[in-house]
Structure 1
Amino acid sequence: MGLLVALAACGKPGPAPVVHRQPLLRVEPLPVVMQVPGVQQFAIGDWRRDGVAAPSPGTLLMGGGQEVPSAMRWFAERAGGGRLLILRASGGSDLQEYFYEEIGGVSAARTLVFTARSAAFDPEVAALIDRADAVFIAGGDQARYIRFWKDTPVQQLLTAHVQSGKPIGGTSAGLAILGGWAYGALDDGSIDSLSALADPLGQAVTLEQDFLQVPWLRDVLTDTHFGQRDRQGRLLAFVNKARNLSGQPVVGLGVDEDAALALEADGRARLHRLDPAHVAWLIAPQLPAEQLQPGQHLRQGEVAVIGINGESELDLGTLDVHAPAFLYRARTDQGQWQLDRLQ
């Protein structure tokens, strides 16, 4: 796969302004009576109130850790001042309160906390997803999302939501399932780089394809908490297994904690972050792995590893990175990951 890297400087992006309005109706974030087994609901604001504008497309890829206010404002603006729905499989109402009370720009926010797969077939749940102007998937355990939502109306409605031009976002486990390929963690663990590189085709590397169909991410495998948990090696292993299964080129996109990539409708993405040292990582093998077999470690050379910081711009249509933070050539052998810095 060819990969062009533009080195010209570009200006640091600033978040688009968001109109902050006083809420017309204040509802305490207490559980809402919902006669649906397997899900708990929280609500704040007036869900009956339409937005001031139509929702606009966009995808927020947040690596976990702390919320990044500029990225959250970017996402809230794309709701058009309307209804925000937060989906999760653990936790409570904290994210909806953060969006509604601190970020602003939405008429209402609701949270659905799934505890069983049965709730994904309920018409009341479906109606809430269908009515939402923006959907944000919280962190937690992506295996729960896959087990609860795969091959259900929830999965279909989330794809329909994106295809209708509405924004979607996720953090941590919520980001992990946004790629066209996703690490499902269905072995009830979280595999590390050494284990993944030792056996990329092994049963512990549980991948899902097209769980959600988000524009520009079809051939992208997303990963989270990236630099902080040394996940570069495991993402390369994931990418090679995905390529082995599909026969198509696949790239990896990892996002550090306290950072978020804001992906526009045209495929261009910019990074928002709390710490200047935190980046996003594009991992793009230039050649297939050598004789990849079950039970064998990954052996591969010529892997481009490109850093994306606040001054960079990633074009997912061409895989060009304008003003990269760094450029490495990576290789693996005997289960070890090695980097040579080129820039």
Structure 2
Amino acid sequence: MRSFHLSKTGDGVEGLSVRHHEDPTPGPGQVAVAVRAAGLSYRELLVLRGTYVLPVKPDVVPVAEGAGDVIAVGPGVDTVRVGDRVAATLFPTWQDGPFGTEHLAQRGGSLDGMLTEIAVIEESGLVPIPSHLSYEEAAALPCTAVTAWNALTGDGPGVQPGETVVVQGSGGVSLSALQLAKALGAKVIATTSSPEKARRLRELGADGVVDYTASPDWAAEVRDLTAGRGADRVVDVTGLLAASLRAVKLGGHIACVGFISGAAQPIDPAAMFAAAATLRPVAVGSRSQFLAMNRLIGSARLRPVIDRAFPFEQAPDAFRYYASGAALGKVVIGC
């Protein structure tokens, strides 16, 4: 079997190399998964660049997201069988409840990830794939889609039918949040940077789109689209929270899921009090949340948006393409 390894975090794409290994044998409670697809997210760029917030072990097999077939099970495994189609959770020990330091071990960081032809995974770190999804589509779920689900539902009551949700841009989390919010009965306003992306977002179900290059004050545009009330929820992926605080309704909810702008600014306490909003950092989600999301995906027949798939040998090219920002949808690597 072949696996990609990252020589050390901070080396970028040039630090990736492929190696051959003996096929692994699962131990007690473990499962061997033939990985059919691995998915890229912004997290993977942070790992390569050496700026990921959590520890990354030397020589790690990168990439947190992946899906495939169970090809062998170890002693004591009783929840999956050979032939099952599965996806791996990002935080293997986070089964349910709140996140804590006891769950910091993460795939593609302190643990080996999914950019490999065969992965050995604890059975408790797997979930079944919705039957209508391809492996490439399923590889879009463990990080980006679960993060979006947590952002929309993880605060207790979650998004309600008829509420308005703002999603920022057309990255993996935002596209997942758009699809999931629509399936939950919400209205969605998306921000974007071009007329072409605006057209595509409308095709995917956005009720309103704001081009922030033409209208830099996108928060004011959101207010106009909601008759001055503001959005019930904002899924913020940029870290520029001042605008989100202006866009959200009084007492609304902002899920902070990242800071891809690279220009995160200090939060003004006065703006927080004025908005009276809940500001909640979101770090992916638990296995229980993953399972709940998959039930909705299955019943609504949702399909993650795939931009492009690369063969295993071209994994470095996949990273370069993803880093270019050209993709609208998931970039995946076939294994």
State if a TM-score over 0.5 links the two structures: no
Q: TM-score, normalised by structure 1?
A: 0.29
The structure whose residues are more often helix, as a share, is 2
